[in-house]
Every structure is written in C-alpha cells, then in structure tokens.
Amino acid sequence: MALITLRDVQKEYRLGETITKALNGVSLDIEKGELVIIYGPSGAGKTTLMNMIGGLDIPTAGKVTVSEIPISTLSAKWLTVYRRKKIGVVFQFFNLISRLTALENVEYAIELVGVRTNPRDESSVSFRSKIIREKASEYLDKVGLGDRLHHFPAQLSGGEQQRVSIARALAKEPEILLADEPTGNLDFKIGRQILEIMEAMTGKEQNRTVIIVTHNEAICPLGDRVIRLSDGEVVENYTQEYVSAKDLYW
C-alpha cells in the first residue's frame, strides 16, 4: 500500500460570493522513500496539494490518507500531533525565529517531539536538554553549519538560513519532508547546493519520502516521480530515472 494516497481531493476557497477551486478532483499515490517533484505555474494548486499532505489544510471533499491515517478527517488536536510526529517542512522564506540562534531554532523544533534514544522503541523518547542540544548540533553540522551554531538569522546569508531550515525540519527525523520552493529566493549556485544537501539527507538513502514544490521545471529531473499541476488538476504523473542535483542547471 502506498504511503500517501489522495482520492478525488477538492479544495475550494470562498471570498464573499467568489469561489476559487484550488484543487479539482486530485487522485494520486506516493510510495515510501520517493523523492517527488510537484511542478506547475503560480496558482496551479501546488502549495495547496502540499498542505493537504502535511495536514496544514483540509479538503473540501475527497480523502487524504498517510501511513493509513485518514488525515482529512482528523480533529485539529490530532492534526497537530500528526504534523509534529510525521512531517518536516522547509519553507521558501525560511521562517526562522529571529531572536533565536541557529542552534536554538533547531532545538526548538526538537523540543516538541523529543529525541528517540532507541530507534526500535517508539516510546524511548528523551526531552533532556543535553540530548536535544547534541541532536541539534549534529544536524547543523550535517548541513555544513557546525561553525555557525551561535549566529542569529540576521547574521547568516540566505543560503545559510535555508540550511538551518533544513536542519530544523530533519532533526525531528520525520517520515515525510515537505519543501515549498526551497530554492526560490536563492541564486543558482546556492540553490543547487541546497538541493544537493536535501538529496544527500533524504529520499531512498534515509527511507524518507520527500516532496518538493517548485515552479522551476529544471528541478524536475531530480525527482523519482514528477506530478505536474495545472488549474488544480494533475495533468502529468510519471516516474523516471532521476538526475543528481549536482548535474542540474537552470
């Protein structure tokens, strides 16, 4: 059974008498460990689709199931639990807390879920500050920021802030990583470095499912699967032999 399934998912937004249909009957399956690219122009429904999977929004109609959990019918309380335990999110605009250092930003995310001390035992979770700090430092080191732990966001470049955002999302060790235009505010060189980091730390190597939303068609070869949206509908959905991030150009 697929990790993520959507069946006839629809999403409408109402403003006064105006109804905007963001998703129009989307059905698809995503397997565990896939690196998926959701591609399309602005207004195609990409972010709305990502939000459905992440439990950040609920459909007007249709069904969303993740790890056999019917998230489209969960209460607000259980959606919060789902997001904390299952989902990591990398935003286009980084969304770091300005008054916290890079280390503290990552620690804050880990504090919500704790650190599993025994990978085989889901109940073996520690909230000790020392263990949390060690985990945060480990992930910042993995993204090449071991010498920037105590810098505030304003003291970091855009690429460095995005790497903190990736470390923050992955330090929770989520089953699913969602990235909304992760290279959108970065130049080509830095953007490709960000994709290389995500490629190395996610996908099949880590048995983690990764979904990248982008309007940049040149990023599509990175995906095991490409889902192209137009006007809220899936117009292409195909698998491919992916191209390494270091070989992408745009």
Give the per-residue pLDDT at 122. Answer: 63
**Under a CB-based contact definition with an 8 Å cutoff, are residues 25 and 10 in contact?**
yes
Would you list the domain boundaries of the chain?
Answer: 4-247
Mean of pLDDT over the chain? 91
CATH of domain 4-247: 3.40.50.300
Residue position matching structure tokens 């130049």? 187
Indicate whether 203 pLDDT > 70: no
* pTM of the predicted structure, to 2 decimals: 0.89
To 5 degrees, how large is the angle CA 77–CA 87–CA 35?
Answer: 150
Q: Which of 91, 88, 89, 49 is nearest to 72 (CA)?
A: 49
Amino acid 249: pLDDT:
83
Q: pLDDT at position 200, please?
A: 84
Q: What pLDDT is attached to residue 85?
A: 87
CA-CA distance, 78 to 40, in Å (whole number)?
31
Summarize the confidence of residues 95-105 as an average pLDDT: 95
Dihedral pair phi/psi, residue 233, rounded to 5°: -125, 150
| Nearest alpha-carbon partner for 170 in 145, 135, 146, 144 | 135
Per-residue model confidence as pLDDT tens digits over 132-171: 999 999 999 989 999 999 999 999 999 999 999 999 999 9
How many of the other CB atoms lie within 10 Å of CB of 60?
15
Mean per-residue pLDDT, 95-108: 95
Q: Are 177 and 90 in contact (CB under 8 A)?
A: yes
Could you give the CA distance from residue 136 to residue 130 in angstroms, rounded to a whole number? 10
- Helix, strand or coil, per DSSP, at residue 22: strand
pLDDT digits (tens, 9 = 90+) for 13-69: 988 888 899 999 999 999 999 999 999 999 999 999 999 999 999 999 999 999 999
